[in-house]
Each structure stands twice: as C-alpha cells, then as structure tokens.
Amino acid sequence: MLEAFRRDGGLIVEGMFNRATIDALTAAADRRVPEFPPGSATQGMGAAGAAFVGANTVRFSSLPLLDDAYFDMLDNEVYAAIADAVLLPHCGSYWVNTGQIMYIGPGETAQVLHRDADNWWEYVHSAWPDAVDITISAMVGLDEVTEELGATRVVPGSHTWKNLEYRVEHESVPAELGPGDALVYSGYVFHGGGANLTTDRWRKAMHLSFVAGWLTPEESCALDFPLGGLDHRSHRVQRLLGHRSYTPMPHPGGGLWLRHVKAIEDTA
C-alpha cells in the first residue's frame, strides 16, 4: 500500500472500514443532512467557501457528535498504519484535520481540482519541492460511489511535480468506491469532487484527514467535548481530537497544546 501511495499519491483500500460502522454512520448522517441547506459553506469561508462546496452539495463536520461509529474509524488499524508511516517520520504525532460528511447532489458540477496541503500555504510553497508530508486524507464511501454520481477525481503522480502548477482536468481519474472502501491520498495530490450526472441520486461519502501535530487543523475538534469528556476513549482518539498534548519526540522541541493544571482542578 505504501509503495502505491508514494508512486501515485493515493490508493483505494477496499473494505478498510467494516460495514456495521459504515451503516451506523450513514444512518446518523442521513438524519442530519436535512439540517444543512445544499450549497451552504458551514466551514466559515464566506462566498468563496460556497463556491468551493458547490451549489447542490451538503457538507458538515463535528462527526464525533454524530455517532460513536466515528470513534471506531479513528481507531482503525489500517488507516492508522498508513498515517503513521507517512506522517510520523516528520512530525512526532498528528491529529484530526477534519472529518466531514460530503453528499454531492444531483446535477452538481465538478469541484475545482486542488491540493489539501495548500491549507498550510506558507510551509508548502516555501519548502516545495522538498516539502515533507504534513497531511493525509481518506475519502470513504458510505454507499456506492460511481463516476456518474461524482466520485472524487484524482491526478495520479501530481504529488511529485517539481512545481506547483495546475494542469488540465482531463488527466484526472475517478476513484470509485463501495461502502467502507477508502481513497487514501497525499495532501500534495491534485483531486476534487466529480460531477453528479444523475437527476435523482446523491453521492454519499465522508472525508477524514490527519495533519501534523505542530500545525493548526481545519476543524477545532477539541471544542466538541468538555475537558475530560473523552477520558473513556482510547489514548489515540483523545490525541486525535485534541484532548492530549503534542510532543515532537523523537524530534527535538517542546510540548504544545498543554492543559492547564488549574483547569483540571476546577472541573474535578
């Protein structure tokens, strides 16, 4: 898997998440979708965000509050092994960048191709082409995801380009998925949601990404739970959702995202 990831910038892992987990999350997502008008930019990006999200696409985050199945996804051994291999050599530890439901509606046009790592533009563009991996993502099928429905399109090998140029969309290929399959891809590979060519069906998928612990994530996951609210979850879940401090070990440097002792005493 790592060989394919490093060569092409991404790969599809069939059955990475079990069907019970996927069915539980999908049922919970379906119940919440009516609360979010298609085209709304819930990520606080204004008009530019609405254009990026799409006119008939529903997105929303705070998935730990959606269903406990999300915690099972964070503890998934296969995704953890890939993320560890890609990120840990450079960053000591990592946490959730964002988890988002992404339902693409009938008639939606293709999303502009982009790189997820451009969220951290200053680092990427100052270090390119020698920038190290700082983020990894998975697009997970919650139902059958076909090209006709708007499967994510990827430009294989674009993570190795010597400059950060944009290239034409016809070089992209669709990442078709079944329920529980995942497109795992580099933050440096060009990709974007495909066009939904149907008149009455939705593309049901979700995004789950990690980012180096020394960078600010897209989603403020830690605010979804009070101090101590994740103490019954695994240490990995606590760290991924910002309820444990960051340490750069074995690399040099100090701890980040520390909890104040007084705050702990006040909630005892």
The Cα 60–Cα 217 span in angstroms is: 16
pLDDT number for residue 265: 45
Reported as a single tens digit per residue, the pLDDT across 192-219 is: 999 999 999 999 999 999 999 999 999 9
How does DSSP classify residue 12?
Answer: E
Residue type, 201: R
Instruction: Write a three-state SS string for 61-117.
Output: CCHHHCCCHHHHHHCCHHHHHHHHHHHHHHHCCEEEEEEEEEEECCCCCCCCCECHH
User: Which positions ≥6 away from 72 have C-beta within 8 Å?
Assistant: 17, 21
In sequence order, the β-bridge partners of residue 12 are 183
* Beta strands at 182-186 and 10-13: parallel, antiparallel or unpaired: antiparallel
Count of positions (residues) in the chain: 268
Query: pLDDT at position 268, please?
Result: 39
Q: What is the DSSP string of 212-256?
A: ETTS--SS-GGGGS-TTTTTTS-HHHHHHTT-S-B--TTSS---B
pLDDT tens digits along 108-136: 999 989 999 999 999 999 999 999 999 99
Name 13's bridge partners: 182
Residues 55 and 38: beta-carbon distance below 8 Å? yes
Q: Which amino acid is at 249?
A: M
The per-residue pLDDT for 167 is 66
Question: For the CA atoms of 38, 39, 44, 46, what is the dihedral angle to 10 degrees?
Answer: -150
* CA distance linking residue 122 with residue 216, whole number of Å: 13
Buried b (16+ CB within 10 A) or exposed e, 90-122: ebbbbbbbbbbbbbbbeebebbebebbbebbee
The domains of the chain, with CATH numbers, are 2-266 (2.60.120.620)
Extract the tokens encoding 262. 């007084």
| Ranges of the chain whose pLDDT falls below 50 | 46-47, 262-268
Please give the pLDDT value at position 266.
Answer: 45
